């Protein structure tokens, strides 16, 4: 990283009324759990208090926390728990709508990039990356899920607030840009201009085969260079990301049909949705000897499979959360059983916690985000509460969530300031409150 947080100053503003109301409600209802109450008071507003900047052009810039750049993926999930509150709160609408506009501005600059600068200051994670960099781009790892999160935020903002002010000609052009990129990357080996090479780095930070990736066969799915963890794909059809694409293509169709009345474009999106879904069903499943038919994490369409899951979102675990399938879908349940077991090479068991980690962090490191997602997709109230209990007990007495922590020792952890992890935890606790699971007896 070439710049420190000293170079970024977040704009100070008063918390929106809807956020303050949630905090007051939680204070009242969590009186019997003072530590959890404090964690929630810390984490629920954290994104707004520490990572959000309102810009003079009406857009919003959101850093990840300890890195002074905006990740398309992270910035959405950092704000996502506020979206259900924005219907009657103009300040939240300004913040969320501003982030959507900022995303579409970045998409117009480079739809292959995953992270951007606030200005065209030419800051980069690694200035020596061999790819088509620009001064706005912090990092240019093509991660299929990144553009999906832009669609996710816009769709749910629209459905919650009813506002159509984001749907200008630039937004529609952004949808077209995303569609055209996905169309190209369905045939990456034949048609894609994207290349990425990073020298003198771990293998997970660069793409093999002169930056083009190992061979894949056409499947109808969309190629990705990197996973949601920012690690390189082992096999370049990432199944959770393609599932997310299916969800977003449905959302794009709805926006195009009802806002822009463009039935021809909607039909193009519908055709692609069917192609990607067919690819998942034909190439993205694996018959496991113990668990039966489950989803693979990655494939190349050539008969090779990567069986695992990663704590980052999108994950196989997160599919009901993102809207791809129901939480009681039989294939999902079998897949969930696999990934929440030690047969998943990135599921770890320890004295303090058991849960999913990631190849992005050392072995035996459980991720708070994985525990939060397990709670958000839990099949029972008991499982949801169990995850909250584990999260409450593994914050190393900091009052905040982290990236990964050692399964035997939560005081050994990575990333003390990771806003996405705080937001996902806050989302879980708030949903449990809405279900009445945390009220004092």
Q: Which pLDDT belongs to residue 11?
A: 57
pLDDT in tens, 149-182: 999 999 999 999 999 999 999 999 999 999 999 9
CATH number reported for the structural domain that contains residue 115 in this entry: 1.50.10.10
Cα distance between the two ends of the chain: 49
Instruction: Report how many domains make up the chain.
Output: 1
Q: How many CA atoms lie within 13 A of 188 on its CB side?
A: 26
Per the document, the length of the chain is 441
- Across 45-59, average pLDDT: 97
Helix (DSSP H) and strand (DSSP E) numbers for the chain? 15, 15
Residue 51: strand, helix, or coil: coil
Instruction: Please answer whether residues 153 and 83 qualify as being in contact, where contact means their C-beta atoms are separated by less than 8 angstroms.
Output: yes
In a domain? residue 338 = yes
Instruction: Please answer whether residues 329 and 270 qualify as being in contact, where contact means their C-beta atoms are separated by less than 8 angstroms.
Output: no
- Across 413-426, average pLDDT: 96
The answer, yes or no, to whether residue 409 has pLDDT greater than 50, is yes
Among candidates 330, 332, 399, 401, which has minimal Cα distance to 371? 401
Is the Cα torsion angle 47, 49, 50, 53 positive or negative in sign? positive
CA dist 157 to 146, 151, 167, 191, 402, Å?
17, 10, 11, 34, 27
In a domain? residue 440 = no
Cite the beta strand spans of 266-420 per DSSP E.
285-288, 292-295, 298-299, 305-306, 347-349, 354-356, 365-367, 404-406, 409-413
pLDDT in tens, 248-277: 999 999 999 999 999 999 999 999 999 999
Q: Which pLDDT belongs to residue 441?
A: 52
Which domain, by its residues, includes 77? 5-434
Q: How many CA atoms lie within 13 A of 171 on its CB side?
A: 22
Instruction: Please answer whether residues 219 and 279 qualify as being in contact, where contact means their C-beta atoms are separated by less than 8 angstroms.
Output: yes
In a domain? residue 136 = yes
Residue 222: left (phi > 0), alpha (psi -120 to 50), or beta? Answer: beta
Q: Which pLDDT belongs to residue 10?
A: 59
Q: Which pLDDT belongs to residue 236?
A: 98
Residue 364: left (phi > 0), alpha (psi -120 to 50), or beta? Answer: left
Q: Which pLDDT belongs to residue 7?
A: 47
pLDDT in tens, 284-330: 999 999 999 999 999 999 999 999 999 999 999 999 999 999 999 99
Rounded to an integer, what distance in angstroms lies between the CA atom of residue 143 and that of residue 148? Answer: 10
In a domain? residue 296 = yes
Residue 182: strand, helix, or coil: helix
In a domain? residue 441 = no
Phi first, then psi: give them for residue 342, nearest 5 degrees: -70, -5
Is the Cα torsion angle 112, 114, 120, 123 positive or negative in sign? negative
Q: Which pLDDT belongs to residue 13?
A: 82
What is the 3-state composition of the chain as percent helix, strand, coil, each rounded to the nearest 5? 45, 10, 40
pLDDT in tens, 222-254: 999 999 999 999 999 999 999 999 999 999 999
Q: Which pLDDT belongs to residue 5?
A: 39
In a domain? residue 157 = yes
Rounded to an integer, what distance in angstroms lies between the CA atom of residue 208 and that of residue 202? Answer: 12
Tokens 């879908």 belong to 329
In a domain? residue 439 = no
């Amino acid at each position: 990283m070439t710049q420190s947080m000293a170079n970024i100053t977040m704009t100070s503003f008063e918390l929106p009324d809807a956020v303050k109301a949630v905090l007051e409600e939680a204070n009242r209802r969590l009186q019997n759990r003072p530590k959890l109450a404090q964690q929630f008071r810390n984490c629920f507003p954290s994104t707004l208090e520490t990572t959000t900047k309102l810009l003079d052009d009406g857009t919003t810039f959101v850093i990840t926390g300890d890195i002074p750049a905006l990740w398309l993926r992270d910035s959405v999930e950092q704000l996502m728990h506020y979206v259900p509150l924005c219907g009657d709160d103009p300040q939240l609408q300004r913040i969320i709508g501003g982030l959507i506009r900022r995303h579409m501005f970045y998409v117009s600059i480079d739809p292959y990039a995953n992270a951007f600068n606030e200005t065209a200051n030419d800051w980069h994670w690694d200035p020596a990356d061999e790819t088509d960099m620009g001064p706005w781009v912090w990092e240019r790892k093509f991660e299929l899920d990144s553009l999906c999160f832009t669609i996710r935020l816009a769709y749910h903002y629209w459905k919650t607030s009813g506002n159509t002010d984001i749907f200008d000609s630039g937004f529609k052009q952004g949808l077209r840009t995303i569609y055209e990129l996905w169309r190209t990357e369905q045939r990456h080996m034949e048609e894609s201009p994207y290349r990425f090479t990073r020298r003198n780095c771990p293998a997970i930070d660069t793409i093999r085969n002169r930056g083009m990736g190992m061979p894949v066969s056409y499947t109808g799915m969309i190629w990705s260079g990197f996973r949601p963890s920012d690690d390189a794909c082992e096999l370049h059809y990432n199944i959770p990301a393609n599932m997310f694409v299916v969800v977003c293509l449905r959302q794009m169709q709805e926006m195009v049909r009802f806002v822009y009345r463009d039935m021809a474009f909607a039909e193009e999106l519908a055709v692609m949705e069917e192609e990607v879904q067919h690819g998942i069903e034909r190439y993205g499943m694996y018959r496991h000897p113990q668990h039966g038919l489950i989803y693979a994490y990655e494939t190349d369409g050539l008969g090779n499979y990567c069986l695992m899951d990663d704590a980052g979102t999108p994950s196989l675990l997160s599919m009901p959360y993102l809207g791809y399938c129901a939480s009681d879908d039989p294939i999902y349940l079998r897949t969930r059983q696999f990934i929440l077991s030690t047969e998943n090479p990135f599921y770890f068991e320890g004295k303090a916690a058991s849960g999913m980690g990631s190849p992005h962090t050392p072995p035996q490191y459980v991720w708070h985000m994985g525990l939060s997602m397990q709670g958000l997709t839990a099949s029972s109230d008991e499982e949801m509460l169990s995850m909250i209990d584990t999260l409450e007990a593994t914050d190393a007495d900091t009052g905040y969530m982290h990236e990964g922590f050692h399964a035997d020792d939560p005081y050994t952890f990575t990333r003390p300031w990771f806003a996405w992890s705080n937001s996902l935890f806050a989302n879980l606790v708030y949903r449990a409150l809405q279900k009445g699971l945390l009220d004092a007896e």
